[in-house]
C-alpha cells in the first residue's frame, strides 16, 4: 500500500525506517524533483527528513512521549469500496497519553441496509442532514495531518479511507500506521483480540456502544494505553513501536476462554 503510493520498492522503504536511504537510490526511483516529492508526500501525511546525507521517516526520531497518534474508526454500509461508503468516522489525537483533540461525524448516505443499521444503529435517515463524504474527508485529512494513524485491524480503516479519498479526487494517505490489534497480541495476553472481547475482558470502556465510531475509538485508546505500559523500555521511538507491533513474538493465548469460565461459575 505505502510502497505503491510512494513509488519506492520495499527495500528502500525499509531503509527509510531503519538505516537511511541515500540520495542516489531515491533519485533512481522517482521522476519528480526530490524537494517537490518530499513536499507532496508531506501533504499526504508522511514527513521524510534528511539527516547526515541520508533520508529517513521522521518518525524514526520522534519519541513515544512527543509523538502525535491519531486513533481512528469508521463505520461503513458495506466492505467493498466500489459499492459502499463510510457512514461514520471518528478520531482522537493523543500526545503523551492525553487526548488533545477529537473529530466525529456522520456522513450523508442514501442507502444503508437493515443489517448495517442493526449492527451500527445508523440508518439512512440519521445521515440525511450530515455533510457529504467529500466534505467530511477534507476535514478529516486536515485533522489527521501527519499523525501516526492507529486503528484496530488498521488495514481495513486505513485502506478504506485512503481509497475513499481517491474516489473523490484527493490523494491517498501516506501516514505511518500502527495496528492496535497487532500491538495487543504482543503486549496483552488474551483468548481473543476482537475489540468487543478485549473491552469485556479488560473493562476498557464500560459505557461502550460497539460499532459506533467514537465509542470504538475510545475503547481503542484505552487498549493502546494499556499496550504501551507493557512495551519494554527499549521501545523509545515511533518506528521502534511500529516494528515491534509487526515483528515481536505474539503472546501465547490461553487454552480456554476465561470469560466463558466466569459465566459458568456464575450459573
What is the tens place of the pLDDT at every residue in 186-205? 999 999 999 999 999 999 99
73: left (phi over 0), alpha (psi -120 to 50) or beta: beta
What's residue 20's pLDDT? Answer: 98
Q: What is the bridge-based pairing of β-strands 21-22 and 54-57?
A: antiparallel
**2: pLDDT strictly greater than 60:** no
Q: Over the chain, what is the mean pLDDT?
A: 95
Sign of CA dihedral 121, 86, 149, 182: positive
**114: pLDDT strictly greater than 60:** yes
What is the tens place of the pLDDT at every residue in 214-265? 999 999 999 999 999 999 899 999 999 999 999 999 999 999 999 987 655 5
User: Mean per-residue pLDDT for 57-71?
Assistant: 98
State the Cα–Cα distance between residues 127 and 42, nearest whole angstrom. Answer: 32
State the Cα–Cα distance between residues 1 and 172, nearest whole angstrom. Answer: 10
**65: pLDDT strictly greater than 80:** yes
Domains located in the chain, CATH noted: 2-60 (1.10.10), 68-247 (3.30.420.10)
State the Cα–Cα distance between residues 86 and 80, nearest whole angstrom. Answer: 11
**13: pLDDT strictly greater than 80:** yes
**179: pLDDT strictly greater than 50:** yes
What's residue 3's pLDDT? Answer: 46
What's residue 261's pLDDT? Answer: 74
Write the CB contacts of 24 (distance below 8 Å, at least 6 apart in sequence). none
What's residue 31's pLDDT? Answer: 78
What is the tens place of the pLDDT at every residue in 157-168? 999 999 999 999
Amino acid at each position: 500500500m505505502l510502497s505503491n503510493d510512494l513509488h519506492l520498492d520495499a527495500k528502500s522503504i525499509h531503509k527509510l525506517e531503519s538505516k537511511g536511504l541515500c540520495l542516489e537510490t531515491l533519485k533512481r526511483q522517482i521522476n519528480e524533483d526530490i524537494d517537490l516529492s518530499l513536499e507532496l508526500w508531506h501533504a499526504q501525511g508522511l514527513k521524510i527528513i534528511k539527516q547526515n546525507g541520508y533520508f529517513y521517516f521522521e518518525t524514526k526520531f520522534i519519541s513515544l512521549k512527543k509523538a502525535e497518534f491519531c486513533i481512528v474508526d469508521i463505520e461503513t454500509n458495506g466492505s467493498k469500496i466500489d459499492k459502499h461508503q463510510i457512514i461514520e468516522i471518528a478520531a482522537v489525537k493523543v500526545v503523551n497519553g492525553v487526548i488533545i483533540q477529537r473529530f466525529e461525524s456522520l456522513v450523508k448516505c442514501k442507502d444503508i441496509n437493515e443489517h448495517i443499521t442493526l449492527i451500527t444503529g445508523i440508518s439512512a435517515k440519521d445521515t440525511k442532514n450530515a455533510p457529504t463524504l467529500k466534505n467530511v474527508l477534507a476535514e478529516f485529512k486536515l485533522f489527521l495531518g501527519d499523525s501516526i494513524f492507529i486503528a484496530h485491524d488498521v488495514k481495513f480503516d486505513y485502506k478504506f479511507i485512503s481509497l475513499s479519498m481517491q474516489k473523490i479526487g484527493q490523494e491517498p494517505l501516506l501516514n505511518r500506521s500502527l495496528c492496535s490489534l497487532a500491538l495487543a497480541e504482543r503486549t496483552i495476553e488474551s483468548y481473543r483480540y476482537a475489540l468487543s472481547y478485549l473491552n469485556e475482558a479488560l473493562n476498557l470502556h464500560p459505557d461502550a456502544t460497539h460499532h459506533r465510531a467514537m465509542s470504538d475509538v475510545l475503547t481503542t485508546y484505552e487498549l493502546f494505553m494499556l499496550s504501551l505500559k507493557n512495551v519494554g523500555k527499549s521501545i523509545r521511538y515511533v518506528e521502534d513501536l511500529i516494528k515491534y507491533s509487526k515483528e515481536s513474538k505474539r503472546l501465547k493465548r490461553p487454552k480456554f476462554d476465561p470469560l466463558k469460565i466466569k459465566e459458568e461459575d456464575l450459573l
